[in-house]
Amino acid sequence: MPRVSILDTEKYFDVNENEILYDALADRGEELPHGCLSGSCGACRIEVSMGADKLSTLGVIEKNTVDAVVDEFNKTRGEEFLNGKTVRLACRAKVLGDCTIKPLK
Ligand code: FES
């Protein structure tokens, strides 16, 4: 059973493999920031600090939104802010193994 940990907190959640990350945490009482829940608004963006390879592959919808989120952050915070970080959408990414995340604000 994969474990999702929230960076900089003591929180972790054991979830079922292949659960959508947002749904898995919401079902366990941890509601992440969100909007559309369909991959288009970017409100559920997260940084994956460990285990990025333990999330499902980006689909086209998620990739387009993540690209827009990264562009926005690069313009507003500078390119070094996200340099080397993995950005995903909690409402699209499925959990395949242990990972550590945090909402990206
Ligand atoms: S909630 Fe809108 S992209 Fe995830």
Amino acid 18 reads N
pTM: 0.96
The domain of 50 spans 3-103
Ligand 1 binding pocket includes 87 (Cβ within 6 Å): no
Ligand 1 binding pocket includes 34 (Cβ within 6 Å): yes
Q: Report in angstroms the alpha-carbon separations of 45 from 1, 14, 73, 104.
A: 23, 20, 11, 6
Beta strand 12-14 with 3-6: parallel, antiparallel or unpaired? antiparallel
Query: What's 11's domain CATH number?
Result: 3.10.20.30
Query: Closest ligand 1 atom to the C-alpha of 22?
Result: 4
pLDDT in tens, 31-41: 999 999 999 99
Number of domains in the chain: 1
Ligand 1 binding pocket includes 46 (Cβ within 6 Å): no
pLDDT in tens, 9-66: 999 999 999 999 999 999 999 999 999 999 999 999 999 999 999 999 999 999 999 9
